[in-house]
Amino acid sequence: MNPHTSMIEPELPRLRELRRDLHAHPQLAYQETYASDRICAELDRLGIPYTRGLAETGIVAWVTPGDPGFRTRPAIAFRADMDALPIHETTGVPYASCTDGVMHACGHDGHMTLLLGLAAVLVQVRDRLPQPVKLIFQPAEEQAAGAARMIEAGALSAQWGDAAIGRLIGFHNWPGLDLGRFAIKRGAFFASADLFRVVVRGRGGHGAMPHLGSDAILAAAHIICALQSIVSRNLDPVRPGVVSVGSIHAGTAENILPGEVVFEGTIRAMDEGSRALLHRRVGEVAAGVAVGLGCEAEAWVEQGYPVLTNEDGCVEFVQDSVVHAAGREHLDILTEPVLGAEDFAFYVRHVPAAYFLFGVRGTGGATSAGLHNSGYDFNDDALGRVLPVLATMALAPADVL
C-alpha cells in the first residue's frame, strides 16, 4: 500500500462531490468565477493561504514547511486548468452542466479537484514538508493562453509564498490510457499550435460566364490542396507537422462567382524550425497558386501556443515518483509526440517543468467518449490513483529538486 493512502482515502468521498459540483457549473475562459470561489472556499477550510484574481480568475496557493529555513529551498509547484468548453453536454449524468452550451468536456473539473485533494493531504503533513509547495489554478487553457497571462501576473515569482519555484508539474487526464496508468515523454511532447487565415481575391461574375471573371473559389480550392504539399514536400520527413483547413467562407448564391474567399486553419509543429518553415510556406503557396489562376491571395499567421518541451530532470522526477507510488508496471514512457497543443508550454520557457498524462479509461461510470466530446465525463476513480503520485512528488526530499 502506498504510504499516503491512509491520508487520501478519507478525502475521496468529499473530492468526488466537489468534482461533480465543479462539473455542474462550468464557465468559459476568464469567466471561471464559480470555480474560483469554490477553490478559495476549500483553501479557506483547509487554512491554506492564497492570492486570487491573477489573470482574472486565477489562484496561487502555497503550503510551507514549519521551519523558517524553507525560504532557502525552492518550491515544487503543480498546475491545474479551470476553464470549460462551448459544447452542449449530452452525458445525461445527474450532475450535468447547468449552463446550456457550456461543459467540462476536457476534464478540467477533475484537474482542479486533484490539486484540492493534494492540498488536503499537505495540511496533514505540513510539519514534514521538505520544501514549499505551490498550487496554481489557471484560467483559460483552451485557446486563450491563460498560462501566459498567469506568468505576466507573477504566478511563477517568489512574491507568492516567499519561495521561488524550482520545479513545475502539469498533468492531464487521457481517455486513451487505462485507469491507473501514467505516460510521459522526454523532450518535445505537445505541438505548437498557430492559426492561419487566407483571403483569396478574384473578380466576381455570373456562374454561367466564368471566363469574364476570376474564380476565387477555384483558386481557393487549389490553394487548399496545395497547402498539403508543404508537409509532404517541404518539411523534413522525420519531423512531424500538420497544416489543416477548418473553415471556408464564400459566396451568397449558387450561380454567382464571389469576388472573395476566406479560409482558416491550424499549423502544428514539434520544433521551432519546422514551425517557422510552415508559417512561411503557407503564405508563399497561397500567393503563388492564386497568381497562376488569375487571382491574388494574402495569408496571415497568428502565433498561438509554443511547443511543450519537457525538461529531462523533471521527466526523471515524474517517472521515479510514478514508480514509487504506483509501480513501474503502470508507467508508459512514450516515444511519439502528441500533435495536440497545451498552454503549459508557456511555463516550460521559464522554469524546469514536466507534463504527464494519466489514464481514465475503465470503471467508475466513465464514458468511452474522448476529450472535447459532448458525451465526455471525468472518471472519479482516477482521483485515488493520481493523488498518491502527486503526494509523492510534493514530499520528495528537497535535494531531489
pLDDT digits (tens, 9 = 90+) for 71-82: 678 999 999 999
pLDDT score recorded for residue 56: 97
pLDDT score recorded for residue 110: 98
Instruction: Examine the pLDDT at 69 and tell me if it is beyond 80.
Output: no
pLDDT score recorded for residue 34: 98
Mean pLDDT of the chain: 94
Instruction: Examine the pLDDT at 363 and tell me if it is beyond 90.
Output: no
pLDDT-based confidence at 3, cuts 50/70/90? low
298-322: average pLDDT:
97
**Domains annotated on the chain, with CATH:** 5-191+307-400 (3.40.630.10), 193-303 (3.30.70.360)
Neighbour-count burial of 382, counting CB atoms closer than 10 A to its CB (0-12 exposed, 13-18 middle, 19+ buried): buried
pLDDT score recorded for residue 144: 87
pLDDT score recorded for residue 7: 87
Instruction: Examine the pLDDT at 399 and tell me if it is beyond 70.
Output: no
Percent of the chain surpassing pLDDT 90: 90
The amino acid occupying position 80 is A
pLDDT score recorded for residue 71: 67
- Helices 12-24 and 33-46: crossing angle in degrees, nearest 10, is 160
pLDDT score recorded for residue 368: 67
374-393: average pLDDT:
97
Neighbour-count burial of 157, counting CB atoms closer than 10 A to its CB (0-12 exposed, 13-18 middle, 19+ buried): middle
Instruction: Examine the pLDDT at 364 and tell me if it is beyond 60.
Output: no
| 242, 274 contact by CB (below 8 A) | no
Instruction: Examine the pLDDT at 5 and tell me if it is beyond 80.
Output: no
Task: Report the alpha-carbon distance of residue 318 to residue 313 in Å, rounded.
Answer: 9
- Residue 371 three-state SS: coil
pLDDT-based confidence at 325, cuts 50/70/90? very high
62-70: average pLDDT:
81
Instruction: Examine the pLDDT at 382 and tell me if it is beyond 80.
Output: yes
| This prediction's pTM | 0.93
Which residue has 480550392 as its cell numbers?
A: 221
pLDDT score recorded for residue 400: 58
pLDDT-based confidence at 84, cuts 50/70/90? very high
The x, y and z cell numbers of residue 298, run together, are 494574402
112-126: average pLDDT:
96
**First-last CA distance in the chain:** 25
Percent of the chain surpassing pLDDT 70: 96
pLDDT score recorded for residue 398: 63
Task: Report the alpha-carbon distance of residue 308 to residue 371 in Å, rounded.
Answer: 19
142-156: average pLDDT:
95
pLDDT-based confidence at 128, cuts 50/70/90? confident
Phi, psi of 313 (to 5 degrees): -65, -35
